[in-house]
Amino acid sequence: MSEKRTSEKVDAYIEGLSGEIKVITEELRAIILDTSEELIEELKWGMPNYSYYGLAAYLQTAKSHVNFGIHNGGKIMDKDTRKLLEGSGEKMKHIKVRSTDDIDRQYFQKLIEAIMTLNASE
């Protein structure tokens, strides 16, 4: 992960986390940023967000899990072959990550690549 591509605001946000939630968030952040050098990291709506031709992914922390979210995830449900994306709305979908054991790096990167492709085509 390239240091110049990270946001100081996101750095501070993650530094304020603790325990397993911090570890999960750090790992998910690395996965997202390693997926493409073209993703832009920002702190929006109080959480890390990643953009590429529009909003692409986000990390939303909770007490016992981190939501690995995909903006407009409803439009890439066909790419979610393992049926991990949750959410009742058409736009935002997420995967609840309760431990680092729940993280499938290649699968998460596949979903990010799918939303990046969609964003670039719209």
Owner of token pair 């986390």: 17
Whole-number pLDDT of residue 2: 42
Task: Assess contact for 70 and 76: CB atoms under 8 A.
Answer: yes
Q: What is the pLDDT of residues 14-48, one digit of tens each?
A: 999 999 999 999 999 999 999 999 999 999 999 99
Question: Whole-model pTM?
Answer: 0.93
Cβ-based neighbour number of residue 80 at 10 Å: 18
| Domain coordinates in residue numbering, the chain | 3-121
Q: Quote the pLDDT of residue 3.
A: 46
Instruction: Tell me the C-alpha to C-alpha distance, in Å, between residue 88 and each of 2, 93, 114.
Output: 35, 8, 20
The fraction of the chain above a pLDDT of 90, given in percent, is 91
pLDDT at 4 over 70: no
pLDDT of residue 40: 96
Inform me whether the pLDDT recorded for 5 exceeds 80.
no
Judged against a pLDDT cut of 60, whether residue 119 lies above it is answered with yes
pLDDT score for 88: 83
In 3D, which of 120, 121, 109, 117 has the Cα closest to residue 32? 109
CATH topology of domain 3-121: Aspartate Aminotransferase, domain 1 (3.90.1150)
- Alpha-carbon distance of 35 to 30, in angstroms, equals 8
φ, ψ (nearest 5 deg) of residue 41: -95, 135
pLDDT in tens, 54-77: 999 999 999 999 999 999 999 999
